[in-house]
A and B are shown apart, each in its own frame.
Chain A
Amino acid sequence: MSVIIVLVIIGVIVAGGFLGAFIWAVKSGQYDDTYSPAIRMLFDDTHPVDEPVEWQEEEKSETN
């Protein structure tokens, strides 16, 4: 029967992991804005955010 005790302890640890994840998510501001991420995921990644300059050059060479 003591397997239940082991299971309960594992259960608490696993759930505690999720609690930790939740706290981290709140602290890193993921709950501050629950509207825009839902919109953002629908945008196409046509503009690579990190290399705007390169992108503009690419566009030019395409049109030429």
Chain B
Amino acid sequence: MGQKCVHCGEDCGRNPVMWDEKPFCCYGCKTVYQILNEKKLDKYYEIQPMSGIKVDRQDVGDKYAYLDNEEIAGKLLEFSDSGVGKITLFIPTIHCASCIWLLENLNTLDAGIIRSSVNFPNKQVSITFKPEKVSLRRIVEMLVSIHYVPEINLEQQQGRDTGKSERTLLIKIGIAGFSLMNVMLYNFPEYLPGGEHLSPMFLRFFGWMSMLLAVPVVFYCANDYYLSAYKALKHKIVNIDLPISIGIFTLFFQSVFDVTTGQGIGYMDSLTGLVFFLLIGKWYQGKTYRALSFERDYKSYFPVAVTLIGEDGGRTAIPLARLKENDEIQIRNQELVPSDAELLSESANIDYSFVTGEALPVEKKKGDMIYAGGRQVGSSIRLKVLKSVEQSYLTQLWNQDTAKQSGISHLDTVINKVSEYFTVVVLLVSASAGGYWLFNNSSLAIFAFTSVLIIACPCALALTVPFTFGSTMRAFGRKGFYIKNTGVIENLNKIDAVVFDKTGTITLSHRMKARFFGDMLTDRQKLMIKALTSHSAHPLSQSIFHSLKGEALPEVISFQEIPAMGIGGVINGTRVNIGSKTFVMGTKSGSDAATHVYVFLDDRVLGYFQIENQYRSGLQQVIAGLKKRADLYLLSGDNDAEKANIQHIFGQQTGLRFNQSPTDKRDFIQKLKREGKTVLMIGDGLNDAGALLESHVGLTIADDIYNFSPACDGIIEASQFGLLHRFIGFTRKSMNIVYISFFISFLYNVIGIGFAVQGNLSPLVAAILMPISSVSVVAFASLSVKYLSKDIH
């Protein structure tokens, strides 16, 4: 092990880049250190040592030139007026206290910036600046230069909306809590022995005060429940919110009746307490991973702007939406092709791994058609747009009716099934209690009827699911598995078919294993091969480079790379050629497998490297774990070169399908659904997007959870993949906890209804029973999840 890079903390290897007697792993890190040092911002490294971000490639060029376009800038800016502009940028790499410190001191780096502030959970930085002193483009390029690369797209508004509903909920909780505390104070004398001696004047005063305070709680804080109950009823469904709404209204009107007729002080304490607890449950359940995006559509993948080549050859950046057919565009290295297009340059090297799952880039010749979603690897190319962005093949896939059946999955939830029966039973019991007293003691009839409705109000029942699943979601989140909402947990439990994607999902997309077949390689030969491959960025060269050990590489002279053929060069006077069979042997005879790389060294062909996929660690355990509960399938956009290997890992029963297009994948999921299966799809790229949306639960595997994940229900960190079967297994435990909690809350209901049908439910009994039942259910649910989830590791 060498020294650790002062900037990013990575190992520097044998030859660190030195500056100011400090080691750096690469020139990129050194440059950032220099910039910060120059501006006296080196405190960045004191707050949290080695907190910097390593960025591999950094040829910005005029990549951000589009930010000079007024139309695009206008869409991105939140505010721009009288010499002040404001923009909020999403920077996924914000991760520590040093980041906050540096990003809030941006004005030291550029005097045109007035103020900058970080929103840490959202991973956003808001920058206020003077447009006449610094352009938007300069700001973004400056951020890139210190390795805080912002992710810019025009669809950034979503995040702000969820923030708004969160605020509303907090305000509702505040109001309900305020009313609860005050109302409890007024009801307090009633709870104590001798409370009946309170003078009627006070009783009336306290009654009226509680009523006043309960009005906003009933008509504002709880309005979501009425709305939800009404919406469900309109679809002829009874959900949990219906008995809750009935309970709230009965409580309120019974209390209003008691107070106005001077009979007592009412149940306002129970009422406000009920709403307060329910809202807390909602808040707990509503935890969302705000910096993660589960709703991305194709637009967030595509560039904001494209470089248009005018008739006179001039290049201008235009917003993607303005791109028309027959436009000529320029695509640079690592940029995404935004629409189906024809290649005008001589050749291109397109990486379709995003779209099809093919691991290796495809060579394209002049005049070939290039589909949207491909990524150019190599020098920049010119394209003629054939179809507008909306009509391209990939976008079409997205726009087909992939509307998630959120409605349907909602109906099946356990809580709705329970509340259906629950509501009917409660209504029957209250009616019969009312009926009984009507004939025996008619003065008690209405009271008994309302009492049952009041005490049966399913507060504890309604809190069960939010707290059990909310805790489960948090436990998963701590272990690197982030889910969109609590509904996903219930669906995960029902899974009986699991479909895997291959490239990038069960294999590591950018790391492949190279195995050598042929003569034994000497250390000298290994070093020479490694040296040669170090000059090429092609994935095959890279995998050979990483599979060979050795340092202090010899120098390569007259290096040349022939696309789609191979690489060659001279090392210490010896000719070395590495590449396809045709390239190395000069013959076209025999088969030429794409995954075989031949080596010519010391005047002869030594043999070939076979490039194999490298599977994720833990795959075996995941497969073994999931096999017990579900049928497994594998869909791959790649060829079947690895079929034997995969069959070995998955076993014979697994259905393997190769050469699957994104549409094939989606159709396959549809077929499974028609067979009545509950399908879990696990994928990673845009090519799985249709299938992920179509499946009951779609999970995405991501090396970097903040970047590039298609719309899905959950994101799992690649390093945690080996725990997947444990996560899915745990959902069953969560369901059991829910059932036990249901049982507990039913017990309380039976006791309460026992009081109610006899017509002697006093406000005191209600005020004690309701909070106790809620608190005990909440405590049971969250503690047992916490205890049981310790097993996931």
Stretch at the interface among B5-13, B174-182, B517-525: B174-182
Closest to B94 in A: A36
Contact partners of B122 in chain A: CB under 8 A: 32-33
Instruction: Give the complex CA separation of A22 and B177 in angstroms.
Output: 11
User: Chain B: how many interface residues by the 8 Å CB criterion?
Assistant: 37
Kindly identify which residue among B100, B111, B174, B199 contacts A19, using a CB–CB cutoff of 8 Å.
B174
Closest to A52 in B: B107
Stretch at the interface among B113-121, B611-619, B731-739: B113-121
Given contacts A11-B182, A27-B171, A36-B120, contact A1 B199 (CB under 8 A): yes
Contact with A along B192-231 (1 / 0, CB 8 A): 0000000100100110010001000000000000000000
Contact A35 B120, beta carbon cutoff 8 Å: yes
Distance from B298 Cβ to chain A, minimum over Cβ atoms (Å)? 29
Given contacts A15-B181, A49-B107, contact A31 B120 (CB under 8 A): no
User: Chain A: how many interface residues by the 8 Å CB criterion?
Assistant: 33
Kindly identify which residue among A16, A42, A56 contacts B178, using a CB–CB cutoff of 8 Å.
A16
B186 interfacial by beta-carbon distance below 8 Å: yes
Contact partners of B178 in chain A: CB under 8 A: 15-16, 18-19
Instruction: Give the complex CA separation of A46 and B101 in angstroms.
Output: 11
Contact B174 A36, beta carbon cutoff 8 Å: no
Distance from B218 Cβ to chain A, minimum over Cβ atoms (Å)? 17
**Interface of chain A: mostly helix, strand, loop or mixed:** helix
B649 interfacial by beta-carbon distance below 8 Å: no
Contact with B along A1-31 (1 / 0, CB 8 A): 1001100100110011011001100110101
Distance from A11 Cβ to chain B, minimum over Cβ atoms (Å)? 7
Contact B174 A26, beta carbon cutoff 8 Å: yes
Distance from B286 Cβ to chain A, minimum over Cβ atoms (Å)? 13
Given contacts A16-B178, A39-B100, A43-B101, contact A4 B202 (CB under 8 A): yes
Contact B199 A36, beta carbon cutoff 8 Å: no
Contact B100 A59, beta carbon cutoff 8 Å: no
Closest to B41 in A: A47
Instruction: Give the complex CA separation of A27 and B172 in angstroms.
Output: 12
B432 interfacial by beta-carbon distance below 8 Å: no
Contact partners of B166 in chain A: CB under 8 A: 31-32
Contact B121 A33, beta carbon cutoff 8 Å: yes
Distance from B636 Cβ to chain A, minimum over Cβ atoms (Å)? 41
Instruction: Give the complex CA separation of A26 and B100 in angstroms.
Output: 22
B703 interfacial by beta-carbon distance below 8 Å: no
B604 interfacial by beta-carbon distance below 8 Å: no
Contact B111 A12, beta carbon cutoff 8 Å: no
Contact partners of A12 in chain B: CB under 8 A: 182, 209, 213
Contact A26 B119, beta carbon cutoff 8 Å: no
Distance from B293 Cβ to chain A, minimum over Cβ atoms (Å)? 17
Contact B167 A47, beta carbon cutoff 8 Å: no
Contact B174 A22, beta carbon cutoff 8 Å: yes
Distance from B100 Cβ to chain A, minimum over Cβ atoms (Å)? 5
Closest to A32 in B: B163
Instruction: Give the complex CA separation of A42 and B96 in angstroms.
Output: 13
B315 interfacial by beta-carbon distance below 8 Å: no
Instruction: Give the complex CA separation of A53 and B107 in angstroms.
Output: 9
Kindly identify which residue among B43, B115, B171 contacts A46, using a CB–CB cutoff of 8 Å.
B43
Contact B121 A35, beta carbon cutoff 8 Å: yes
Instruction: Give the complex CA separation of A11 and B213 in angstroms.
Output: 13
B233 interfacial by beta-carbon distance below 8 Å: no
**Interface of chain B residues 100 through 137 with chain A (CB within 8 A):** 100-101, 104-105, 107-108, 111, 113, 115, 117-122
Distance from A20 Cβ to chain B, minimum over Cβ atoms (Å)? 10
Closest to B47 in A: A43
Instruction: Give the complex CA separation of A49 and B128 in angstroms.
Output: 12
Contact A40 B119, beta carbon cutoff 8 Å: no
Distance from B714 Cβ to chain A, minimum over Cβ atoms (Å)? 23
Instruction: Give the complex CA separation of A23 and B186 in angstroms.
Output: 24
Contact B115 A49, beta carbon cutoff 8 Å: yes
Distance from B118 Cβ to chain A, minimum over Cβ atoms (Å)? 5
Contact A52 B100, beta carbon cutoff 8 Å: no
CB<8 Å pairs between A and B, sample of 27: A1-B199, A8-B205, A11-B185, A15-B182, A19-B178, A22-B174, A23-B171, A26-B170, A31-B167, A32-B121, A32-B163, A32-B166, A33-B118, A33-B119, A33-B120, A35-B121, A36-B118, A39-B97, A42-B97, A43-B47, A43-B101, A46-B43, A47-B107, A49-B107, A49-B115, A52-B107, A59-B40
Besides A8-B185, A26-B167, A43-B101, 8 new A-B residue pairs in contact (Cβ under 8 A), listed by A number: A5-B202, A22-B171, A29-B167, A32-B122, A39-B120, A42-B97, A47-B107, A52-B111
Residues of A bordering B, CB below 8 Å: 1, 4-5, 8, 11-12, 15-16, 18-19, 22-23, 26-27, 29, 31-36, 39-40, 42-43, 46-47, 49, 52-53, 55-56, 59
